[in-house]
């Protein structure tokens, strides 16, 4: 499974990239707004930090403008994945950009039917939002299971399932068990994967025992 971090905070991205576990980045207009920086500048900087896909979202809703914005975003760096909404115009944009060799992330997916459309439009990634479904009393992970199952039936589909709206470590673990290709999560959630009380307890005991020896490695 590939790990993407869902943020526009370049300091967070650099910190996670240093672990060697970061495969890409996803952003959206809300995250860019929080950064307080210019959109294109932030995307360009992120693309220099990570070699993997960096999702940058169009802001228009109509096909012509989305396509223009998508081409401009794709021109920033080779690892930009243009992010478009799962609408008719969004999928038209996806098809045009994909045919031109640009990576496309189709976002705001909430049903298996939508995921099929994204794959047929040539999306590089489709982003089902599990947390938002959970919020309204629907099982978000069932959506991931359904999409993965459907995609496996059709080898011609090259679209990767990018699990989004992740709220905690269990969303990540369950996604991995189901065979999702990618998960994107806030830095705070990714860092929770490191944590376990028994690891902390064991390390504390090792440190205490080592201190009693009075020795030093250096």
User: Which residues are known to be catalytic?
Assistant: 83
Residue 137 vs residues 131, 132, 133, 140: alpha-carbon distances, Å: 10, 9, 7, 9
Helix boundaries (H) for 63-179 = 63-74, 88-99, 112-120, 130-135, 140-152, 169-178
CA distance 112 to 115: 5
For the chain, give the longest Cα–Cα distance.
Answer: 71
3-state secondary structure (DSSP) of residue 107: strand
- Return the half-sphere exposure (C-beta side, CA atoms, 13 A cut-off) of residue 106: 32
């Amino acid at each position: 499974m590939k790990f993407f971090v869902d943020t526009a905070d370049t300091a967070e991205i650099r910190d996670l990239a240093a672990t060697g576990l970061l495969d890409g980045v996803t952003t959206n207009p809300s995250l860019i707004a929080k950064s307080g920086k210019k959109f294109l500048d932030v995307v360009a900087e992120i693309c220099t930090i990570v070699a993997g896909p960096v999702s940058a979202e169009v802001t228009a809703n109509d096909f012509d403008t989305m396509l223009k914005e998508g081409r401009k975003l794709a021109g920033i760096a080779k690892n930009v994945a243009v992010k478009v909404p799962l609408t008719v115009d969004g999928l038209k944009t996806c098809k045009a950009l994909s045919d031109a060799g640009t990576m496309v992330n189709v976002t705001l997916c909430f049903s298996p039917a939508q995921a099929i459309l994204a794959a047929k439009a040539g999306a590089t990634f489709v982003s089902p939002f599990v947390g938002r479904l959970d919020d309204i009393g629907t099982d978000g992970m069932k959506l991931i299971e359904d999409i993965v199952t459907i995609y496996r039936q059709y080898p011609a589909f090259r679209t990767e399932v990018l699990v989004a709206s992740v709220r905690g470590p269990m969303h990540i673990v369950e996604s991995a068990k189901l065979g999702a290709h990618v998960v994107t999560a806030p830095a705070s959630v990714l860092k929770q994967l490191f944590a376990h009380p028994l690891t902390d307890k064991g390390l504390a005991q090792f440190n205490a025992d080592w201190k009693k020896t009075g020795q030093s490695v250096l």
